[in-house]
């Protein structure tokens, strides 16, 4: 999906990093834990811990953030429709993860079939700012993510990207 966005929406040339990854079958195990603390009717303190173990990537991480608005917990972390109709919320959060295997940087866990092999930074820090809007059976989420660089020799200290989620329940 990201490559289509770069090609058809942004009208960018083909990205060189997409060609280096050979086709591979991956298996992953994911475990997540969500928790929240309602501070008042319009403010929640949210936490989300996750553990990924697999052939594509293996890491653990945790995020902590504030959700402003009259919503149930975790509007930004999952795609459930537990929130009331016509809801709006704003989110400001922080995520830290430690990755001990990433296929795109170090090749396969079981076979070393990637031509790019880099010594990447294992500790990732993200700042997340976003909003959530739900009306009828539609859910719109937009989150701006700013994360530290992947390698020591990268030119920029942070990488900023946008996550868009549009869902409809039929």
pLDDT in tens, 78-132: 555 555 567 788 999 999 999 988 877 777 666 666 666 677 888 999 999 998 8
Entry pTM: 0.74
What's the rounded mean pLDDT across residues 33-41? 86
What confidence score (pLDDT) does residue 113 get?
Answer: 61
Please report the DSSP string for the chain in residue order. -HHHIIIIIS-PPPPGGGTT-------EEEEEEEEEEEEETTEEEEEEEEEEEESSEEEEEEEEEEEESS--TTTTTS----SPSSEEEEEEEEEEEEEEEEHHHH--SSS---S------SEEEEEEEEEEEEETTEEEEEEEEEEE-SSTT-SSSEEEEEEEEEEE--
Selection from 23, 78, 32 nearest residue 53 by Cα: 32
Q: How far apart are CA 135 and CA 125, in angstroms?
A: 32
Domain 28-168: CATH superfamily is Outer membrane protein (2.40.128.140)
Q: How far apart are CA 122 and CA 109, in angstroms?
A: 16
What confidence score (pLDDT) does residue 21 get?
Answer: 55
Q: How far apart are CA 113 and CA 50, in angstroms?
A: 27
Tell me which of 25 and 41 has the higher pLDDT. Answer: 41
Tell me which of 65 and 87 has the higher pLDDT. Answer: 65
Lowest mean pLDDT among 26-30, 48-52, 69-73, 89-93: 69-73
Q: Quickly state the pLDDT bin for 5 (edges 50, 70, 90).
A: low
β-partners of residue 125 are: 96
Selection from 18, 147, 22 nearest residue 94 by Cα: 147
What confidence score (pLDDT) does residue 57 get?
Answer: 86
Q: What six digits make up the tokens of 114?
A: 């990637």
Tell me which of 107 and 28 has the higher pLDDT. Answer: 28
Answer whether residue 1 shows pLDDT above 60: no
In the β-sheet with 158-168, what is the strand arrangement from edge to edge?
Answer: 28-40, 43-54, 57-68, 87-102, 123-135, 138-148, 158-168
The chain-wide mean pLDDT, for the chain, equals 80
Answer whether residue 22 shows pLDDT above 70: no
């Amino acid at each position: 999906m990201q490559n289509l966005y770069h090609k058809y929406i942004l009208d960018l040339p083909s990205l060189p990093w997409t060609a280096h990854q050979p086709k591979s079958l991956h298996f992953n195990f994911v475990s997540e834990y969500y928790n929240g603390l309602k501070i008042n009717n319009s403010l929640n303190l949210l936490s989300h811990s996750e553990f990924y173990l697999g052939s594509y990537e293996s890491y653990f991480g945790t995020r902590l953030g504030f959700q402003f608005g009259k919503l149930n917990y975790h509007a930004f972390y999952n795609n459930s429709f537990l929130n009331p109709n016509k809801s709006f919320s704003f989110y400001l959060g922080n995520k830290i993860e430690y990755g001990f295997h990433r296929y795109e940087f170090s090749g396969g866990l079981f076979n070393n079939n990637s031509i790019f092999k880099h010594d990447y930074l294992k500790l990732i820090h993200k700042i997340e700012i976003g909003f959530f809007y739900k009306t009828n059976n539609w859910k719109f989420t937009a989150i701006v993510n700013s994360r530290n660089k992947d390698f020591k020799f990268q030119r920029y200290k942070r990488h900023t990207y946008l996550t868009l989620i549009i869902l409809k329940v039929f």
